[in-house]
Amino acid sequence: MDTTAAVHAEGLRKTFRGTGDRQVTALHDVDLTVDRGEIVALLGPNGAGKTTLIDLILGLTKPTAGTVTVVGGTPRQAVTGQRIGAVMQTGGLLPDMTVEATVTMIAATLTGPRPVAEVLEHAKLTGIRRQRVGRCSGGEQQRLRFALALLGDPELLILDEPTAGMDPANRHEFWDSMRVQADRGVTVLFATHYLQEAQDFARRIVLLDGGTVVADGTPAELQDGDVVVEYDLDGHHSVTTTDSDALAADLLARGATNLRITAQTLDDTFIRLTGNRSEES
Ligand SMILES: Nc1ncnc2c1ncn2[C@@H]1O[C@H](COP(=O)(O)OP(=O)(O)OP(=O)(O)O)[C@@H](O)[C@H]1O
């Protein structure tokens, strides 16, 4: 069995030239390993470095320092070997072609592509396969990009905000299709602003802020261990604690009333670590 990680980044840094003499460091020496079969969300506010990291993994840009290995080789080898499929936010579609013709055309450029009908079905495009791409909604176009990403039967799917611009129903359907791929053992790495999406679909969340990984763990691990205890005792009070049982027992013994215990959410963690409010899906 090939045990090389799906993605292995070490000391990955990317600096862009900004306006004038200013330099923008989009990624600061990031270390990240994504194992085969993992479903990982890259979560972070605007400008956190999510797209830069994805571009480096796909070999679309070169690191200023550090290395990135993808399924055991360079990003370029992974792309040319059809081992990565990517769904990017924009570009790449011809408006006058039909959905099916687009998939057929790209299939013709690949070695041993998956059958077009199967891929259309997976991406829930069979019903609109004769529709011109220019007439497809934003969500349908994203599903088409997803279909194109599946064609080469990749081991690793990289998605940069795949559901941007989709309504909640479309988003739901999109993740259902994605789950089928994950269940087949495909590694999935996706960038999102949507905390709920990361929480619902990913088994691991890597939280980026200002080009640095500020948290990395399961959705449950990333939720603060703290709970907030509110109570009335000579006025209304609110206390944060990691041991709500002990505090509650003590407060009740002292005659406190109206106890309310609330767990911190992933959103609270996001705000605490990035100083930003996440976007809800
Ligand atoms: N080509 C570029 N030239 C100069 N600066 C860039 C370039 N690409 C990205 N940056 C800067 O690098 C930082 C990280 O950008 P990046 O697009 O990776 O963030 P992001 O997390 O994907 O953000 P968003 O959620 O808004 O898409 C930002 O400050 C951005 O302005």
Q: List pLDDT tens digits, range 27-37.
A: 999 999 999 98
Q: Three-state SS for 265?
A: coil
Kindly compute the dihedral angle of the four CA atoms of residues 190, 75, 86, 168, in this order, to the nearest 10 degrees. 10
Residue 189 has pLDDT above 70, yes or no: yes
pLDDT of residue 222: 83
For ligand 1, say whether the CB of 16 is within 6 Å of any of its atoms. yes
206 lines ligand 1 (CB under 6 A): no
The letter for the amino acid at 272 is: R
Between 186 and 168, where is the model more confident? 186
pLDDT for res 87:
87
Helix, coil or strand: residue 240: strand
Give the model confidence (pLDDT) of 36-58 as tens digits: 989 999 999 888 999 999 999 99
Distance 132 CA to ligand 1 centre (A): 32
Which pLDDT band holds residue 259 (cuts at 50, 70, 90)?
A: very high
Q: Give the CA distances from residue 97 to residues 104, 137, 250, in Å, rounded to whole numbers and listed in that order.
A: 11, 14, 70
Beta bridge partners of 194: 279
Q: The domain 7-221 belongs to what CATH superfamily?
A: P-loop containing nucleotide triphosphate hydrolases (3.40.50.300)
In 49-203, which ranges are continuous DSSP H helix? Answer: 50-57, 75-80, 99-108, 116-122, 138-150, 168-183, 195-201
Mean pLDDT value of segment 140-159: 92
pLDDT category, 175, cuts 50, 70, 90? confident
Q: Is 26 in the pocket of ligand 1 (CB under 6 A)?
A: yes
Mutate to test the pocket of ligand 1, among 51, 163, 209 (most ligand atoms within 8 A of CB): 51
* Mutation pick for ligand 1 pocket among 24, 160, 214 (CB with most ligand atoms within 8 Å): 24
Average pLDDT taken over every residue of the chain: 89
Q: What count of residues does the chain have?
A: 281
Rounded Cα distance between 36 and 185, Å, is: 8
Is the beta carbon of 50 within 6 A of some atom in ligand 1?
Answer: yes
Tell me what pLDDT residue 78 has. 93
Percent of the chain with pLDDT over 90: 60
With a 6 A CB cut-off, is 47 part of the ligand 1 pocket?
yes
Cβ of 192 closer than 6 Å to ligand 1, yes or no, is no
Does the pLDDT of residue 160 top 60, yes or no?
yes
pLDDT at 281: 45
Ligand 1 near 46 CB (within 6 A): yes
> What would the mean pLDDT of 115-119 be, rounded to a whole number?
96
